Amino acid sequence: MALDVGGTRLKGGVYGTGGDELYTHAWITHRRGGPEAVVVAVLDVLDELRQHPAARAAESCGLAAPGIVDKVRGYALWSENLGWRDVPLRRLAEERTGLPVALGHDVRAGGLAEARLGAARGVDNALFVPIGTGIGAAIIADGHVVDGGGMAGELGHVDVGHDERCACGSRGCLEAIASASGIARRYALRSGSAVDGAAEVARRARSGDAVAIEVWDEAVDALAAALTTACALLAPQVIVLGGGLSQAGDQLVVPLEERLRARLTFHRRPRVVTAVLGDRAGCLGASLLARELLLDDGGARR
């Protein structure tokens, strides 16, 4: 069984040994009660999932959490969204479910799922890049998802050479220009007209709104710059775009792939595609972590 802990929803699932989906369900994440209440809610949901008939034969449990996750020690170290600090989530979940639990990071779990079951299937080197409020990345290198002590993959904070301040305290970060929230904020600021998210900016760009076209264009350029850097360092064969912004589809993928190709010289040229698992990626990835727990060769596990 698996649970993807998000700031908006808790997405749970039960899977067969072959990976087949036996049951899924989502719950609202109530954050009003503060960090501790979210922990209690997560444990209650795990309990509910454990009691479901489909989970009767469950042998292990995977959990995906946001923020900074120490997968080795099993701690959710830090989450801005949930207010978590040093939550021993693996131990708590093991006590509540009576199952061995694997704790992973939501973006890296999603990347694992896209690599094993989704858009990056069959390649050893890939990037999974969810673009929403922020921009993250799961780095798949030589067939493994890079953990980096829980801190790898901060693509959103690659300096793409602009002067706008980022929430992280730095300047030039990709995220300030090209995240869904960055796009909406910059459009509102420049046009003087508030919008309901980046999807609305995309729609306006399609219907010829000059400011929307400009803001979208700058976002695509910034993404191309940051991904060029990632290509130099990691040589991905596929770049999988996920998160809300990826729903723009070709409006994002086509110009991004074109500008990326224009920038690359000696590099390996990756395909740019959209994710195929959508918001199931995190939970599916957590289920893969759960399954890895049951493998015999613990030593080879990453």
Distance, CA of 164 to CA of 70 (rounded, Å): 31
Nearer to a copy of itself by Cβ, of 191 and 237: the residue is 237
Q: Which of 229, 244, 255, 271 binds a copy of itself (CB under 8 A)?
A: 229
Residue 229 or 251: the one with the smaller Cβ distance to a copy of itself is 229
Residue 265 Cβ vs a copy of itself, minimum distance, rounded to whole Å? 4
Classify 135 as helix, strand or coil: strand
Query: Footprint of a copy of itself on residues 141-170 (CB under 8 A)?
Result: 141-142, 144, 146-149, 151-155, 157-159, 161, 168-170
Q: Collapsing DSSP states into helix, strand and coil, what is residue 171?
A: strand
From residue 65 to residue 104, the character string flagging contacts with a copy of itself as x (rule: CB under 8 A) and all else as - is: ----------------------------------------
CB of 75 to a copy of itself, least distance (A): 16
DSSP 54-114: GGTT---EEEEESSEEETTTTEEEE-TTT--EEE-HHHHHHHHHSS-EEEEEHHHHHHHHH
Looking at the Cβ atoms of 147 and 279, the one nearer to a copy of itself is 147
Asked if 230 interacts with a copy of itself (CB under 8 A), we say yes
- Please check whether residue 242 is in contact with residue 198, taking contact to mean a CB–CB distance below 8 angstroms: no
Site for a copy of itself in 165-204 (CB under 8 A): 168-170
Cβ proximity to a copy of itself, 12 vs 182, nearer residue? 182
Measured CA to CA, the distance from residue 262 to residue 258 in angstroms comes to 6
Nearer to a copy of itself, 13 or 136 (CB): 136
The interface region with a copy of itself, picked from 20-28, 83-91, 189-197, 292-300 by CB under 8 A, is 292-300
Comparison of 152 and 183: residue with beta carbon closer to a copy of itself: 152
Give per-residue burial for 204-221: e unless 16+ CB within 10 Å, then b: bbeeebebbeebbebbbb
Radius of gyration over every alpha carbon of the chain, rounded to an integer in angstroms: 19
Residue in 140, 137, 125, 111 with CA at minimum distance from that of residue 289: 111
294 binds a copy of itself (CB under 8 A): no
Rounded to a whole number of angstroms, the minimum distance from the CB of residue 237 to a copy of itself is: 7
Long-range contacts of residues 87-96, Cβ cutoff 8 Å, at least 24 apart: 87/35, 87/39, 89/39, 89/42, 89/63, 89/65, 90/63, 92/39, 92/43, 93/42, 93/43, 93/46, 93/61, 93/63, 94/61, 96/43, 96/46, 96/47, 96/50
Question: Per CB under 8 A, which of residues 117..136 are in contact with a copy of itself?
Answer: 124-125
Q: Should residue 258 be labelled a site residue for a copy of itself when binding is judged by CB under 8 A?
A: no
Residue 137 lies near a copy of itself (rule: CB under 8 A): yes
In this chain, which stretch among 6-14, 180-188, 209-217, 222-230 interacts with a copy of itself, using CB under 8 A? 222-230
What SS3 state is found at 128?
A: strand
Place of tokens 């998210």: 197
From edge to edge, which strands make up the β-sheet containing 75-78?
68-70, 75-78, 85-87
Single out the segment in contact with a copy of itself by CB under 8 A; choices: 22-30, 45-53, 261-269, 287-295.
261-269
Binding site for a copy of itself (CB under 8 A): 124-125, 137, 139, 141-142, 144, 146-149, 151-155, 157-159, 161, 168-170, 225, 228-230, 232-237, 263, 265-268, 297, 299-300, 302
